[in-house]
């Protein structure tokens, strides 16, 4: 359980500098502990393409990507997705460049608020945005922070 006033934030990245990865295909997920006035790097989870549980796309019978209409996962193995879901478990927010509706619903069911970015953003910019949100948090974020009111008063135990 994170400290009161702190949340864990997951960011999908391909270069460790920007939030620029699609949730199902990103090379890494970086995890940060963020509060209104500080942040700390916690972890980097790497996914290897082609390895067991990796994110290598499945080839169609003709060597192409196949038909995505019949595959809601976009060709990503269920083992790879499960590893990604486990990686964001315990986080309050997930920032990524893209994710399918199915992935967004599954992530949300884990108690993680998915944020799909319109364009790539620098990781420090994403963290600054989260810190501004924490300053005047909406109700869902107050619950994640463990505070009952915007003033930062702790929830009753």
Does the pTM surpass 0.85? The reply is no
Whether the per-residue pLDDT at 66 is higher than 80: the answer is no
Give the chain's domains with CATH numbers. Answer: 7-53+72-145 (3.30.420.130)
Give tens-digit pLDDT for 95-119. 999 999 999 999 999 999 999 999 9
Q: Sorting pLDDT into bands at 50, 70 and 90, what band is 131?
A: very high
* CB neighbour class for 143 (10 Å; exposed up to 12, middle 13-18, buried from 19): middle
More confident residue, 138 or 147: 138
Give tens-digit pLDDT for 135-146. 888 887 887 777
Give tens-digit pLDDT for 25-56. 999 999 999 998 999 999 999 987 644 444 44
44: nearest Cα among 56, 60, 28: 28
d(CA 23, CA 95): 8
Residue 33: what are its φ and ψ, rounded to 5°? -95, 125
């Amino acid at each position: 359980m994170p400290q009161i006033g702190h949340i864990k934030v997951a960011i999908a990245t391909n270069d460790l500098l920007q939030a620029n990865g699609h949730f199902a295909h990103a090379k890494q997920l970086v995890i940060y502990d963020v509060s209104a006035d500080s942040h700390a790097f916690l972890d980097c989870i790497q996914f290897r393409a082609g390895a067991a549980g990796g994110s290598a796309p499945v080839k169609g019978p003709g060597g192409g990507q196949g038909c995505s209409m019949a595959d809601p996962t976009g060709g990503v193995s269920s083992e790879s997705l499960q590893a990604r879901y486990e990686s964001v478990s315990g986080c309050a927010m997930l920032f990524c460049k893209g994710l399918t509706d199915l992935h967004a619903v599954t992530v949300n069911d884990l108690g993680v608020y998915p944020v799909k970015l319109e364009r790539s953003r620098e990781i420090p910019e994403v963290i600054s945005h989260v810190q501004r949100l924490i300053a005047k948090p909406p109700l869902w974020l107050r619950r994640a922070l463990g505070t009952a009111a915007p003033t930062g008063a702790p929830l009753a135990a």
